[in-house]
Amino acid sequence: MNADINEIAYGIFGEYFRRRRAKFDSVRENLIRARIYVPVERWLSTALFYSLIGAICVLFIYLLMKLMLSLILEVDFSSSFDLLDFMLIPAGILLAFFSVFFGFYCLPNIKAWERRGKIEAFLPYAIGYISSMASIGVIPYEIFKKLSEMEGNYGEVSMEAKQIVRDVELLGLDFITALRNLATVTASQQMRSFLQGAVTTALTGGEMGPYFINAATMYMEERRRKYGDFITMLGLFAEFYVVGLVAAPLLIMVVMSIMCFLGTASLSLLAAIVYIIIPLGSAGFIFLIDLYS
């Protein structure tokens, strides 16, 4: 069903976006980095089609709500529209249309950003594995081939290594070209730098083994530094949490309780602190820590 809708969308809008393909190079690059194997004109055609469907759905829902309201109030449906409705309907249609299209437009970038985080989380350990294999004399291509088979251990880094294996074994490219191609399309800047360094080392006549060992040391040091910064930031968050959402609310609640007992304050403010401010603040801190980590 979904494939049929995509085909319909491409049949209607595909030619329009195909003629303007060069204008959407950033979307095409993000699709590749996100490993969404869909041509950019097909992706944008689907986005436009679903945007129109979203706009029509908003119009239908609004009219249905107006109809139900007119039946409840027992007024004529056609006479129930006023100036506010004629302002809300176009605004809702435009909001739905651009929200859906913007969501499709940005989704590859979001997916690429997610993949970048997953790659960089495993990259130091994957490079450590590469350096270990290189230190015992395994040739570079075999190292990456073994790495591509260890998705359970190295996650998205193994998925990236599979691109090298595909280029070499299916497309017939040499190993250096496969490394260069992956460096071009990978979502991670750190992995791009690592691969470009490997390519440069090979092209200048250097040995990849020592490069991998030095890179492993450098990336592990960088990882330790990031973990140190993260722990420091967590300590700062903890201090803010204790002061802002533990000590201060407790003090305010004690004062408010006394004021309520004396009749100079309302219980509604105390209830707002207990049931709204503290839970929302705690949820905000959880979201902030999750975002930072």
Let me know whether 154 and 85 are in one domain.
Answer: no
What pLDDT, on a 0 to 100 scale, did the predictor assign at position 106?
92
Q: Are residues 124 and 103 in the same domain?
A: no
Same domain membership, residue 199 and residue 183: yes
Are 185 and 266 contained in the same domain?
A: no
Q: Which two tokens stand for residue 276?
A: 């709204």
Domain identity same for 175 and 264: no
Of 114, 141, 156, the position where a domain reaches its end is 114
Between 82 and 240, whose confidence is greater?
A: 240
**In the predicted structure, residue 51 carries a pLDDT above the cut 90:** yes
Average pLDDT over residues 210-231: 85
| Mean pLDDT to the nearest integer, 139-145 | 90
Check if the beta carbon of residue 268 is closer than 8 Å to that of residue 224: no
> What is the rounded average pLDDT of the residues 4-13?
82
Residue 42: partners with Cβ closer than 8 Å, 6 or more residues away = 6, 9, 10, 14
Whether 70 and 80 have beta carbons less than 8 Å apart is answered as yes
- 136 and 70 together in one domain: no
Which of 162, 188, 220 is the endpoint of a domain? 220
Domain coverage including residue 8: 2-114
One domain for residues 209 and 280: no
Mean pLDDT of 161-181: 91
pLDDT at 53 (0 to 100): 92
* pLDDT for 66: 77
Residue 73 pLDDT more than 70? no
More confident residue, 233 or 71: 233
| Interval 168-189 mean pLDDT | 91
Given a cut of 90, whether residue 165 has pLDDT beyond it is yes
Q: Across all residues in the chain, what is the average pLDDT? A: 85
pLDDT of 71 reads 72
The verdict on 47 and 122 lying in the same domain is no
Q: What integer is the mean pLDDT of 90-109?
A: 91
The answer on pLDDT for 80 being more than 90 is: no
pLDDT digits (tens, 9 = 90+) for 265-276: 677 777 787 888
Are 84 and 31 part of one and the same domain? yes
Structure-block tokens of residue 170: 């299916």
Of 3-7, 22-26, 253-257, the poorest mean pLDDT is in 3-7
Based on the fold, state whether residues 76 and 99 are members of the same structural domain: yes
The kind and range of the H/E element at 76 are none
- Cα 76 off chain centre by: 48
Backbone region of residue 193 per phi and psi (left: phi > 0; alpha: psi in -120 to 50; beta: other values): alpha
Report the range of poorest mean pLDDT among 75-79, 138-142, 192-196, 235-239: 75-79
Structural domains in the chain (count): 3
Looking at per-residue pLDDT, the higher value among 150 and 209 belongs to: 150
**Of 114, 132, 166, which residue is a domain's last?**
114
Report d(CA 270, CA 254) in Å as an integer: 10
